[in-house]
Structure 1
Amino acid sequence: MTTQFKWIKFFSSVLLMLQVTAAAVEHSEFIIRDGGEVTLSCENLKDDQDKCKGTVWIFSNSNTAATLTLFEHGKIHQEAKNKSDRLSVTANCSLVIKKLTAEDAGWYTCRQFRGNPGIQQGPDAVVYLSVVSITEYKDDNTVTLKCSVSTYKECKYTVKWLYGNKDLKMSQSTCSASVIFTTSDYIYTSTNSEMLKCQVTHGGNVQEFIFRIQSSNQETGWCWWRFIIVAVGLAALITAAVVVHIWTREAGIKVQLYENVVCNDE
């Protein structure tokens, strides 16, 4: 009985440690459209930071076991040089990522260090980032729209296409959904671009991402109208300038003649 009690006590202690550890790791989650921008907050930030020199940002994803150091010793790390133009760190040590791509999906860890060599202070702060991509494929008279979510681990999202509040007929797979239209379909050619959208759901969290319809015919038409408007405006401006010039010349001649007449009378 005593042995059993010791084992129960041991496992209880281990379980308590796991619970405390899990609670100690602070985390948040974002899902952002590709091409957008996100600011990842370092929730375990220490008040005595000197230009974030004690802050380290690390990136990991499910596609590789390796980790990438993004920021260390107050500057963007050499390991992140291929994306350094898209990375920056704010005064409160938050990590800013611009022009997001699917490859940016993963988890970002912020750690605080003190001293030399640095000793980690407090728990990790983890931010999970998923990226939504919407692609358009045209083939003769059909067009396929695909909405997909690149995530930090196995997919947990439900993805579907809506027109207004109505579900569209689509094909769905893990973390993606595709819908096919003819190029003359009223939905695809609609000028109400707010109606066609990709909905991404996880639990009670629902986010919608609008597909901006840009018909090539509409773009071409607008370009031609813009060209015509500019051309007409320029022609009107030139005409006005010529009229003013002629009027000025005639006025000048009349004044000169009048002056000559007066002088001759004297």
Structure 2
Amino acid sequence: MIEHRFEVICEVEPPTRPDLKHVRHQIGTLAKVSDAFLIPDNHIGRATVSSVAVAHEVEAMGGRSIACLNSRDRNLLGFRRDLLTAAAYGVDQFLFVYGDKPTSGGRTGELNVRAMIEEVRATARDAAFAGTRPFRVGTAAALRPLPTWKRAADFVFVQVSFSTEALLRWREATPLDAPVYAGVMVLASEAHARRLAAAIPDIDIPRDLVEKVRGDRNAGVEAACEQVLRIKESGAFAGVHLIPVARYREVAARLESMLG
């Protein structure tokens, strides 16, 4: 059972233009219900403002940040640049992922998540990073057996699932000492459900939820917030990785009333 305080880590939508007003609004709105913020990297295959830069903005606003970095868009030199920039900004937490399929172009092919983790661990012995805070590194997990090398991560984010039972079955079968965060997403619309099903082949989206969302645009918010409470009550996870999509205002209001 998890003994420390249950955490809600909210994902923000990073800007695709050089303007931080919208992301600042998300951070300010969600601050009352969020223990930390995850900033995606080149979200859904589109170029965005650097996740390290947005993470620095979160820290400047008094929040905790986790900068997502994908292996798809990086070679070793570019990745080292990101680490140096993060150290200069005081950003010390990362989630490493493979990365969504790009809308144009391809991937560099030089790095993978495992190599990124090994490179970060090596910074502890690197004079260039002397005097900086050590990095904490997380990795993502599907609802399948967890590879041995991922067990060395400082924390694990489990893929989004609309089934609390599926998440709990995975957790029971996957003993880990590191904090584990369950993925919860707001289903925004029927079209959103179709996109998710196409992007994540093994995701199971309940038909009754899709029907509810079709008739009530807030049904997805209610379902996600209720799932957060069920996961919290289970005691099986350190917290949740909550993706409010564009419904962050509604999520903030509903979670605040539910969590007290």
Structure 1 or 2, whichever has the larger Rg, is 1
Higher helix share: 2
TM-score above 0.5, yes or no: no
Q: TM-score, normalised by structure 2?
A: 0.28
Higher strand share: 1
Structure with higher RCO (Cα < 8 A, 6+ apart): 2
